[in-house]
Structure 1
Amino acid sequence: MGKSAQGTTEKGASGDGMQSASGASVKRKRAKPDKRQGSNKMSAEERLRFGLLSAQLTLAQQADRAVLVLVAGHAATGKGELINQLNHWLENRLTEVHALAPGDEERCRPYWWRFWHRLPTRGRLGVFVHGWVGDAVLARASRALGEGAYSDRIEQMRQFEAELAADGVQLVKLWLQIDAESQRRRLEMLAADPATRWQVTEDKWRRHAQHGLLDELARDLRKRTHRRHSPWIELDASSGDSLLPQVATLLENVMTTPPPALEAESSPALEAVQPPSLAALVQREAPERLKKRDYVERLSESQARLAELARSAARQRVPLVVMFEGHDAAGKGGGIHRLTSALDARLYQVHQIAAPTQEELLHPWQWRFWQRLPRDGRVAVFDRSWYGRVLVERVEGLAVEDDWRRGYEEIRQFEARLLEHGAVVVKLFLAIDKDEQLARFEARAATPHKRHKLTDEDWRNRERWDDYQQAIDEMFSQTHVPGAEWTLIDANDKRRARLEVIQEVSRRLAARLPLA
């Protein structure tokens, strides 16, 4: 099987044949075809290959979506051979193949990071071998995932696939099926050939021994994750015939037709937690402004405590994500500076989130935040964050209503993945009133070394103050959940706000770390 498939593939790779197929003029009489220029007639295989390649080049030119192919299935179904042949037919400079064997980079971040990190850009085709489906089925079969955790993982799959489909990634999920007897014969055949013996490991025989269980689990999983926007296609690999023609035809069709409509996923009900409110903050009596001498003394003590907790978190490999949102001129930069002054510079990174770059626009909107997640024991500080989707993108009309409304659930799921991994998530909102903001704007304009902080965008945002207030309160109500609660800080007094920032991060770390 391998030799015949490889032989036809190599024949179809002829450069002359492709040139002739693309319309190059060939002069000849009724005689034997000129071998230097090829024949005008293409074989069925050449037509398939030409159609697939043409569709891929059109996809790259239009760059309106990415195509992600998930290849999963039983052992000894020829997944590797199929992908090698497919990659040979495709323009592999526009194709990315990932067969993940998780290493330290994957294990020290949330589970889904390994897939988000490798998503293809719009216009490209990505292939995941085994992927999130194989991980889940094998983990359940070995009881590494209990029944409840397995159901949770399937729910995460549905959410992940829906997020990709909603944001320009078209999914093609292939399951390679084989019956137990055919699988046994295939393994024995591979083991008998010195050239393929290396493929037959103890793990492959163990999976053969579990064929019935794995088949049952896989069928149930496919049923529970089959959606209009991410359907399953089952391919029968029992005969040993090449599956390349079927897959090539399927992919050509996917790349040349519009993606299917998104099938809505139900959102779990929010736990009843009272969110903060800007109105309540305004009604609260403001404390007396902190004197500088008291501030300096308390700042030193607070930073010392935070430094101790941060070192403990690093030793225990607990990641920390601190996210700052707030009104313009509320003092986010000052709060970040005082916070990071207490940390070892080798252990933290500050990410300033602005308008997405051209590369980021070629990915789903969450991609750039997954890229910036810290390793275990490290700290990521976000100066503005993923909440831009439901704040500035909403208010300024940079995202359509369906997208920003869907953003609430996508944000909740994103933060849930961080918490499941054991991260401490601290969400801070620094609030000032409208009069205080105006005073700070005018002070910045009058101070040469601070003028760069004041932009035309700041003044435009101020004109939509009420719209932002409404968006902020709705953000609180939709994303204030256990483990990822919002902390609303009155930042009219900068000194007191900076202390509250440090103390809140310390409080959350102390609650997470044993004996802290």
Structure 2
Amino acid sequence: MKKDTLRYRLLAAQLEMARREDRALVLLLGGQTASYMQPLLNLLNQWLENRRTEVHALEHSSEEARRPALWRYWRRIPARGTTGIFVHGWYGDALFARAERRIGAGAFEDHLERIRDFEAELAAENVVLVKIWLDIDREAQGERLAAMLEDPARAWQLDPSDWQRHLQHPLIESLGASLRETTQADWAPWFCLTGKEPDELMHQVAERLLEAMSRPSVDPEAPWASSQPLPAVGEAPSVRAPGPEQAPTASPDKADYHRRLVEQQARLSRNSREAARRGIPVVLVFEGHDAAGKGGSIHRVTSALEARRYRVHSIAAPSDEERAHPWAWRFWRRLPADGRFALFDRSWYGRVLVERVEGFATPAQWRRAYGEIRHFEQRLLEHGTVLGKFFLSISKDEQLRRFEARARTPHKQHKLTEEDWRNRARWEDYQGAIDDMFTQTHRPHAPWSLIACDDKRQARLEVIEQINALLERRLDGEL
């Protein structure tokens, strides 16, 4: 295809993709150091509509080091209808760390396995991935670098790291081949390209992009590996078959409750300050029945924390911006920095609860979410996050009493909505979804705590006591 024709068709396809807003496009460029990557980027900026395109050539920052490794990529995933170009991207982190012997062979393979999970999740959300490896043999690379050094107009573009990468050419070639083989997938193919001139490479890249922009959208009902249910690991909680954790306990009187609450809050204050000193991030998830007391429990927790060290995220229906991204995007971008707390008043589990029961997610989407949630939480734990997951449960009769009390109390009436009554009418559907959630996501490293909340005082004390126990296990080196 002629250059001008190809350029016009690529731009037209990008604008049509922007009009439809049915997918996002990610182009990842990797390869050897003198493979014309920079001239290629310049041409891409000329050919594509740059108001719908963002280029990310990321340096490591202290802000990013204080969060899970994939956080810096998740927050930059393009919205539907737009294009993101990543220079080396998530592969560069693994490739160059292995080339420089900062990680071993096993850790390198672990990195690639995480990348496979990440890319499968993106692809299932209609993020189209095009991965280009720009190749050049060692002799040609040496000649190209020498020519740049002798040309005053281009010598300034050279960096000492370019010569280091040239010395590592055989190693990068070998690691690149292994990397591509391990992460090759129908939904995230690799294309290994060579070219003597940037225009030649641009022609090849443009053809791959044109094909990607024009391919059919992913079927939302298409099965994925993470859609397969897994057996329970250990004894998962159940809201339909109460276990020992829901056994009734004596309700503390008002004086005893306040005494114990102050003790537990003081303990939490000490633990949180030590977690901050050590740079330990904490993520606390609160799910539960309507009127079970999530807000009250969260308030008792945050009263013991320094305001500058925590943030409460109340998760409701996604905004237009959030709907334009993969569903997990809005949770990744809310992760706390090391030493900080993030409390989620409802969370990513909405995908397998309200979105499932109310039909906002298709069966394939909410079934797939179980595996995606397990992967997400594993990434948090690998980073050293303390993860607490609390489900606040009440009986159906107690929920009705609280609804009626809210309706009679002027300053609480705003808490009771038509949605609450609608959810109550589907009580058994929600009970089934909750137990399925426990079965699929209750794991030894990320267990659920089922809190019986018919007695508000006892429930609040139990939540804070369990958070303290989690933190102390980590501070004592047991987690």
Alpha-carbon distance between aligned partners in 2 of 1:296 and 1:187, rounded to the nearest angstrom: 72
What do the CA deviations read for 1:29-49 (whole angstroms, capped 9, x no partner)?
Answer: xxxxxxxxxxxxxx9332222
Q: Partner of 2:156: helix, strand, or coil?
A: helix
Which of structure 1's runs of 4+ aligned residues deviate more than 6 A?
A: 260-263, 266-271
Structure 1 stretch displaced more, 474-483 or 418-427: 474-483
Q: Where in structure 2 are the equivalents of 1:354-365 lying within 5 Å?
A: 354-365=316-327
Amino acid corresponding to residue 321 of structure 2 in structure 1: E
Q: Do the aligned residues in 1 keep the contact of 2:240 with 2:431 (CA within 8 Å)?
A: no
Q: Does structure 1 retain, via aligned residues, the 8 Å contact 2:21–2:81?
A: yes
Q: Pick the aligned partner of 1:278 from 230, 239, 249.
A: 239
Deviates more, 1:229-238 or 1:401-410: 229-238
2:95 counterpart letter in structure 1: V
What's the CA shift for 1:239?
Answer: 6.2
Who is 1:22 aligned against? none
Residues 1:175 and 2:137 are matched in the alignment: no
CA separation in 1, counterparts of 2:223 and 2:242?
40
Against the structure 1 CA distance between its residues 244 and 263, is the aligned structure 2 distance closer, same or farther, given a 3 Å change threshold?
A: farther
- Map Cα deviations across residues 420-466 of structure 1 (whole Å, 9 max, x no partner): 11110110010001111011011001100001101111111111111
Is contact 2:391–2:450 with CA below 8 Å preserved after alignment? yes
Partner-residue secondary structure (3-state), 1:233: strand
- 1 CA distance for matches of 2:3 and 2:68? 43
Question: C-alpha separation between the residues in 1 aligned to 2:197 and 2:402?
Answer: 74
Q: Which residue of 2 aligns with 1:141?
A: 99
1:85 paired with 2:47, answer no
CA-to-partner distance for each residue in 1:308-346, whole Å, 9 max, x for gaps?
A: 110111111111101100000000000000000000001
Letter aligned with residue 456 of structure 2:
K
**What does 1:387-406 align with in structure 2 at a 5 Å threshold?**
387-406=349-368
Q: Deviations over 1:45-75 (max 9, x none)?
A: 3222211111111111111111110011111
The change in CA–CA distance for 1:271 and 1:177 in structure 2 (over 3 A counts) is farther
1:488 to 450, 453, 459: 450
Shift of 1:241: 5.8
Q: Displacement, 1:275?
A: 1.5
In structure 2, how many angstroms separate the alpha carbons of the residues matched to 1:338 and 1:247? 56
Q: Which structure ranks higher in relative contact order (CA pairs < 8 Å, sequence separation ≥ 6)? A: 2
Q: Is the 8 A contact 2:98 2:108 kept in 1?
A: yes
The separation in 1 between residues aligned to 2:195 and 2:269, in whole angstroms, is 58
- Is 1:464 equivalent to 2:426 in the alignment? yes
| 1:50/1:419 CA distance change after superposition, 3 Å | same
The residue that corresponds to 2:26 in the other structure is 68
Q: Which of 323, 329, 332 is the aligned partner of 1:370?
A: 332
Match 2:269 to one of 298, 302, 307: 307
Which deviations, in whole Å up to 9, do the C-alpha atoms of 1:121-168 show, x marking residues without a partner? 000011001111122111112222222211111111111111001112
- Cα pair 2:251 2:458 within 8 Å, conserved: yes
One-letter amino acid of the counterpart of residue 278, structure 1: V
Equivalent residue number for residue 382 of structure 2: 420
2:15 to 57, 62, 70: 57
**Superposition deviation, residue 494 in structure 1:** 0.3
Give the number of the structure whose alpha-carbon radius of gyration is greater. Answer: 1
Match of 1:208 among 156, 162, 166: 166
CA shift digits 1:343-394 (9 cap, x unpaired): 0001111000000001100000000001111111111000000000011111
Q: Residue 258 in 1 paired to residue 216 in 2?
A: yes
Aligned with residue 162 of structure 1, among 105, 112, 120: 120
| Residues 218-276 of structure 1 deviation map (CA, whole Å, 9 limit, x = unaligned) | 11111111111111111113566631122222212221231467784478977833212
% identical aligned pairs: 55
Pairing 1:230–2:192 present? no
Deviates more, 1:489-498 or 1:274-283: 274-283
- Give 1:515 deviation, angstroms: 7.9
In the alignment, the residues of structure 1 paired with residue 229 and residue 428 of structure 2 have an alpha-carbon distance, to the nearest angstrom, of: 30
Is residue 408 of structure 2 the alignment partner of residue 446 of structure 1?
Answer: yes
Change (3 A) 1:265 1:147: farther
Aligned twin of 1:297: 259
In the other structure, the counterpart of 1:474 is: 436
Which one of 310, 316, 321 corresponds to residue 283 of structure 2? Answer: 321
Q: Give the C-alpha shift of residue 514 in structure 1.
A: 3.8
Alignment of 1:46 with 2:32, yes or no, is no
Q: For the residues of structure 2 that align with 1:78 and 1:56, how far apart are their CA atoms?
A: 24
Segments of structure 1 that go 5 or more residues without pairing to the other structure are 1-42
Q: Give the secondary-structure state (helix, strand or coil) at the position aligned to 2:308.
A: coil
Q: Distance in 1 between matches of 2:252 and 2:35?
A: 70
CA offset at residue 290 of structure 1?
1.7
The residue matched to 2:35 in structure 1 has which SS?
A: coil
Aligned with residue 197 of structure 1, among 155, 160, 164 = 155
The residue aligned with 1:507 is 469
Give the SS at the match of 1:278: coil
Whole-angstrom CA distance in 1 between matches of 2:106 and 2:133: 24
Does the 8 Å CA contact 1:228/1:263 hold for their aligned counterparts? no
Letter in 2 for 1:434: K
Q: Distance in 2 between matches of 1:383 and 1:110?
A: 21
Q: What letter matches 2:376 in structure 1?
A: F
Q: Do 1:75 and 1:208's aligned partners in 2 also have CA atoms closer than 8 Å? A: yes
Deviates more, 1:275-284 or 1:150-159: 275-284
Q: 1:497 to 1:230 in 2, by over 3 A?
A: same
Query: How far apart in 1 are the matches of 2:381 and 2:416?
Result: 36
1:37 alignment counterpart: none
Partner of 2:72: 114
CA distance 1:263–1:183, shift in 2 (3 Å): farther
Contact 1:177 1:238 in 2 (8 A): no
Rate the CA distance shift 1:394–1:260 in 2: closer, same or farther, 3 A. Answer: closer
The equivalent of 2:310 in structure 1 is 348
Output the CA distance in 2 between the equivalents of 1:285 and 1:45: 73
TM-score of the pair, normalised by structure 1 = 0.88
Conserved 8 A contact 1:310-1:343: yes
Superposed CA RMSD in Å reads 1.9
For the 8 Å contact 2:133–2:190, the answer to whether it is kept is yes
- Specify the SS of the correspondent of 1:71: strand
Where does residue 27 of structure 1 map in the other structure? none
User: Residues 24-39 of structure 1: matches in 2 within 5 Å?
Assistant: none
User: How many pairs are equivalent?
Assistant: 474
TM-score, normalised by the number of residues in structure 2: 0.95
1:211 to 1:271, Cα distance in 2 relative to 1, 3 A: farther
Partner of 2:296: 334
